[in-house]
Amino acid sequence: MNSKWLKAFDTLADCLHFGQAAERLCMTQPALTKHVQQMEDWLGGTLFERDRRGTRLTALGRSLHGEAKALQRHTEGFWQHARRAAQGNVGRLDIGFGLSSIDIAPQWVARFRLHYPEVDIQLDDMSSAEQTARLLSGDIQLGFTRLPAPAPLRSIVLHTDQLALASPQADRGGSRFADFADTALIALRPQRGPGLTQHILQLYQRHGRTPAISQYTSDIQTVLALVAAGAGSAIVPMSAQAIAPRHIQLRPVNDNPELTRWQIGLVWNPALDNAVRDRFVEHVARDTDKAS
Print the SS3 string covering the chain. Answer: CCHHHHHHHHHHHHHCCHHHHHHHHCCCHHHHHHHHHHHHHHHCCCCEEEECCEEEECHHHHHHHHHHHHHHHHHHHHHHHHHHHHCCCCEEEEEEECHHHCCHHHHHHHHHHHHCCCEEEEEEECCHHHHHHHHHHCCCCEEEEECCCCCCCEEEEEEEEEEEEEEECCCCCCCEHHHHCCCEEEEECCCCCHHHHHHHHHHHHHCCCCCEEEEEECCHHHHHHHHHCCCCEEEEEHHHHHHCCCCEEEEECECCHHHHEEEEEEEECCCCCCHHHHHHHHHHHHHHCCEC
Q: What is the pLDDT of residue 131?
A: 96
Q: What is the pLDDT of residue 290?
A: 45
Q: What is the pLDDT of residue 19?
A: 92
Tell me, yes or no, if the two domains 3-86 and 93-292 fold the same way. Answer: no
Quick: pLDDT tens for 137-150. Answer: 999 999 999 999 99
Q: What is the pLDDT of residue 82?
A: 66
Q: What is the pLDDT of residue 85?
A: 67
Quick: pLDDT tens for 6-53. Answer: 899 999 999 999 999 999 999 999 999 999 999 999 999 999 998 888
Instruction: Determine whether domain 93-292 maps to CATH 3.40.190.290.
Output: yes
Q: Where are the domains of the chain?
A: 3-86, 93-292
What is the CATH topology of the domain spanning 3-86? Arc Repressor Mutant, subunit A (1.10.10)
Pick out the chain residues at pLDDT < 50. Answer: 290-292
